[in-house]
Amino acid sequence: MEKIRICSTINPDGSIQEGSGIELDTGGPTAKLLQQVTTPLFSNPITGEIAGVLAFPEETNGEYMKGILISPAGASGPPEHFHPSYVEEFTIIEGEFIFLHNKELIFLKTGDKLSVQANEKHTFRPADKYKVNTFVVVARPPGLLTELVKTLYGLAHEGKLNKNGEPGFLQAMALTKSLSNDTVFTKPPPMVQKIMASIFAPIASLRGYQAIYPEYIDESFWLKRVEQFVKEPVLR
């Protein structure tokens, strides 16, 4: 079957980063779904994850946002977190994921679904049985999920996250302060985070740190850093 290579990382000199990207079957479910993505894909060079938007809030009268995440084997997934103001609905398109949902491990295969309500703690990672693991996520109401993911991925591309994909202290404080009603990570405890952010977020702001960076939301940033839909039989 013909292969499609997507989302290789583009180096600052314009060359393709050796070994980056994910190879898909052109007739597979992930490749077919990607045909519905009309804006540039964005990626995390640390984890190898690739994401895109299938429906913006403006297209759904503000009711929801729909996105796709493609995760290669070995990706770590996000730290445990919860969303105070919206529900996330996950549908597995290809591969298999392990979710930690309210301290319960749940294995989700192709076709399985999981609804995570507001304030329910969760995280996920691919089960590592397959090279390609894909889900569709719907956030109701939209929240700032797309903006947050693009910001973290953008920071990763610019070398501003550590090897585990975590931001530095002041960047973390800027995120914590501004996103307290959208996304809250569970470590350290949220109350400790709130106290720390009240002290250090103003310092972070004075030093130029932001929760959401407009340049990472802009499509041009991703067109310069991510190779989009290049069809070849093998990865370079």
CATH topology of domain 3-225: Jelly Rolls (2.60.120)
Query: What are the tokens at 72?
Result: 């290669």
Mean pLDDT in the chain? 92
> Is there a contact between 123 and 80 (Cβ–Cβ < 8 Å)?
yes
Angle, vertex CA 215, rays to CA 16 and CA 223, nearest 5: 30
Q: What is the C-alpha to C-alpha distance for residues 158 and 206, in angstroms, rounded to an integer?
A: 21
Mean pLDDT of 218-230: 85
What is the residue whose two structure tokens read 């691919």?
126
Flag whether pLDDT at 14 surpasses 90: no
Per residue in 134-157, pLDDT tens? 999 999 999 999 999 999 999 999
What lies within 8 Å, CB to CB, of 96 at 6+ separation is 107, 108, 109, 110, 126, 127, 129, 130, 133
> Is there a contact between 108 and 89 (Cβ–Cβ < 8 Å)?
no
Q: What is the C-alpha to C-alpha distance for residues 186 and 46, in angstroms, rounded to an integer?
A: 22
Tell me what pLDDT residue 235 has.
39
Per residue in 64-115, pLDDT tens? 999 999 999 999 999 999 999 999 999 999 999 999 999 999 999 999 999 9
Amino acid present at 167: P
Flag whether pLDDT at 234 surpasses 80: no
Bridge partners (DSSP) listed for residue 134: 70, 94
What lies within 8 Å, CB to CB, of 98 at 6+ separation is 105, 106, 107, 108, 124, 125, 126, 127
H/E stretch holding 69 reads strand 65-72
Per residue in 26-39, pLDDT tens? 889 999 999 899 88
* Stretch among 13-22, 92-101, 130-139, 204-213 having the lowest mean pLDDT: 13-22
